Structure 1
Amino acid sequence: MSETAETPTLQEISRELPPKIVIPEIKGEMVHLRPATIEDLPRLDELDAYYNASRITGKDPQAERAVVHAWVRRSVAWANGQAASESGVGDPESRRTIAWAVLTDSDHDDDGRIDAADTDNVIGMVFLIDIDGWARSARIQVVLGKDYRGRGYSRDMMPRVMTYGFAPEPSGLGMHRIWVAVPEKNTRSLSVYQSLGFVKTGSSRDALWDAENGRYQDLIVLDTLFDEYDPIRSLDAFGMHVIEDNPGMHEALAMREHSIAIRQRTRTDGAASASANNDADRARRDAFERIGIDPDAVRSSGEGDHTHRDGTSRADAGEQPSPASADAAIDGDSTWPYGQSERKSSKNAWWRNLGLSRKRDNEED
């Protein structure tokens, strides 16, 4: 069967979300995720999870609490096969939500007891919200208890949730785009999202009120696309290991192997082509020399990216390859926005050795 017959086109992909979903459990190194329940909601109050919400999400704590309750109810309704309207807090555009409870069974602060024993190991929640089947788009958001921020939990869970979100159905949601919205003041979260491969695509001016400083602030929008996001690199950037039995990871690994094979084949074909081009160039130079013309004075018509639109050479203008081009060369023409130099090996993972006992109460990681 041909590849065209096996691979659905964009027009053939269903734009309808399933009426019922089985929310998978997801494993991390520091945390693991299970479907959130209504019974988990009081635990977020115990964790003081809405503390400083205006700085982290731009909402006041009461509004943040209300929207989290709505998200969990929508998630439970979808898992039960109920229509969006049957959740009691349905979305008028029939978008869906998935909510996971974030659990840890570790003693990361070395006090001799499990970190979150008082809340049945729950330390927060992570959501895929505004799941739009028509546009194949979803938004991701993390809510952590006050004492569990700044320890690297988001870096552990978010790439794994996004891998599930991008994985084709039935292994994942089959999303094309995942995005986030962050107040401009929350520079820490902006840095985390960009390090995960999100790209800033715009901002809503004066969209939020900064109560702390008594002024308006912008809401920054970042996103990443299915054909841009590399979950393996995203995990490796923070020294996290691949867990192969997580949902969508087999597909991600298969796509990575396929991409590597294509690049290797392209390089092999390119080497043969380069040899042929060198032979043609030598013949061209000989022909010009025979008629008394300096071949170096004649500009080739095939300079491509090495020339400007006016025909002048980039080298003549003293330009150097862009850092992005250099990174692409190092990384094998990857679309990953961050180069190899920003990656860390697992043995050097910062969270294994640094500051896990610190308790930051002003920003979410």
Structure 2
Amino acid sequence: MSETAETPLGQEVTRELPPRIVIPPIKGEMVHLRPATVDDLPRMDELDAYYGASRITGKDAQAERAVVHTWVRRSVAWSHGQTPDESGVGDPESRRTIAWAVLTDADHDEDGQTDAASTANVIGMIFLIDIDGWSRSARIQIVLGRDYRGRGYSRDLMPRVMTYGFAPEPVGLGMHRIWVAVPEQNTRSRSVYRSLGFEPSGTSRDALWDAENNKYQDLIVMDTLVDEYDPIRSLDAFGMHLIEDNPGVQEALSAREHSIAIQKNTVSTQTGVRVDDAAPTDAENNRDDADNARETTSADTADTSTTVEETRHNTAVAPDASSEEESNWPYGQGERKTSKEAWWRTLGRGRKRSVEE
């Protein structure tokens, strides 16, 4: 019998993950994703994908390699409908994993050859791990080959994967929370995660060993919730275009239009004056804004294997810095709300919560 929980409206919602999942492909502008396979694992070694792991994720290279192998096998097992016991890798808490291979068909270095031809176009992997059906929570992590870091691939992928993760079932996973764990010294990751809407939620003191500096370091946990995360704005923050046929995008657009309609209705009710065109709502305007963002930022700055270049957070397109003229959002980016006052919640889509810090 399925475990269920009641919503505030008394509706029962299952807290069990489906026994089998169809992992969708996801399109990006620079790269695209397909479900990862066991055959992709040797390519990660060829890519030297675990180089610098202690600095990026806090694990040593051997541990990073071991968990990537486990995550891929768990993902394949779930897509085949196998239980954790049947998968051969186990999972005592039945927290599932989804693994995508990151592929590029491009010749970005203009040498006349596809960048990753030697590894069947695979340049890394991105994961949703620790997917907890009961708590509707998942962790995101990306691992790129050593020679494919710093090219901007991560900024193209993370918002699109998170959009799928937050999208309601059956289109997406229906997650309530997505989180990351970042070593204290990885300041670039923390900066860009804030641009994506993540907020620091806790610190595990001296949780990691900093091999480069021969000392312990803290592990910073950051997260964002479904009614805080703004999937369209997070793409715009990095100058990326919306791809409307990706999983979860139509639901995000619908939610945004609903929120803007609530804002218009609220203003009209309070002032007695009809408010028309309070904010653009079509995807074309989002693409126009993304084009503007491209002109004001470098297209080639990016993170290491976990995130994108910190300078993105400080440019004109970052949510905390952009002028209101460049924003087509209900709130100007210069007056960005804190996570507890996110635009979806403030406009009425989210649950009622205290906004006190």
TM-score by length of 1: 0.75
Larger Rg: 1
Higher RCO, 1 vs 2 (CA within 8 Å, ≥6 residues apart)? 1
Deviation at 1:23, TM superposition (A): 0.2
Contact 2:181-2:222 within 8 A present in 1 as well: yes
The CA RMSD measured in Å over matched residues stands at: 2.3
Q: Deviations over 1:206-241 (max 9, x none)?
A: 000000000000000000000001101010111111
Per the alignment, residue 290 of structure 2 pairs with 345
- Tell me, which stretches of 5 or more residues in structure 1 are unaligned? 1-6, 274-330, 333-342
CA, structure 1 residues 90+10, in 2 after alignment: closer, same or farther (shift >3 Å)? farther
Deviation at 1:345, TM superposition (A): 3.5
Contact 1:150-1:363 within 8 A present in 2 as well: no
TM-score by length of 2: 0.77
Task: Map 1:255-274 to 2 at 5 A.
Answer: 255-272=255-272
- Tell me, which stretches of 5 or more residues in structure 2 are unaligned? 1-6, 280-287, 309-357
Whether 1:184 and 2:184 are equivalent positions in the alignment is yes
Whether 1:61 and 2:6 are equivalent positions in the alignment is no
Amino acid at match of 2:213: N
Amino acid at match of 1:346: D
CA, structure 1 residues 194+17, in 2 after alignment: closer, same or farther (shift >3 Å)? same
Amino acid at match of 2:250: H
Counterpart-to-counterpart distance in 2, 1:56 and 1:11: 42
Amino acid at match of 2:93: E
Counterpart-to-counterpart distance in 1, 2:61 and 2:247: 33
User: How many residue pairs get matched?
Assistant: 290
Counterpart-to-counterpart distance in 1, 2:66 and 2:228: 34
Contact 1:152-1:351 within 8 A present in 2 as well: no
Counterpart-to-counterpart distance in 2, 1:69 and 1:53: 15
CA, structure 1 residues 344+248, in 2 after alignment: closer, same or farther (shift >3 Å)? same
Q: Deviations over 1:47-100 (max 9, x none)?
A: 000000000000000000000000000000000000012111121011100000
Contact 1:189-1:364 within 8 A present in 2 as well: yes
CA, structure 1 residues 183+80, in 2 after alignment: closer, same or farther (shift >3 Å)? same
Deviation at 1:272, TM superposition (A): 2.8
Per the alignment, residue 136 of structure 1 pairs with 136
Contact 2:55-2:185 within 8 A present in 1 as well: yes
Q: Deviations over 1:216-267 (max 9, x none)?
A: 0000000000000110101011111111110011111100010010101101
Contact 2:31-2:105 within 8 A present in 1 as well: yes
Percentage of matched positions with identical amino acids: 73
74-83 or 346-355, which deviates more:
346-355
Counterpart-to-counterpart distance in 2, 1:90 and 1:8: 35
Deviation at 1:10, TM superposition (A): 7.7
Counterpart-to-counterpart distance in 2, 1:152 and 1:207: 29
Deviation at 1:110, TM superposition (A): 2.1
Contact 1:149-1:364 within 8 A present in 2 as well: no
Per the alignment, residue 14 of structure 1 pairs with 14
Whether 1:95 and 2:102 are equivalent positions in the alignment is no
Deviation at 1:350, TM superposition (A): 6.7
Whether 1:249 and 2:245 are equivalent positions in the alignment is no
Whether 1:204 and 2:149 are equivalent positions in the alignment is no
CA, structure 1 residues 101+362, in 2 after alignment: closer, same or farther (shift >3 Å)? closer
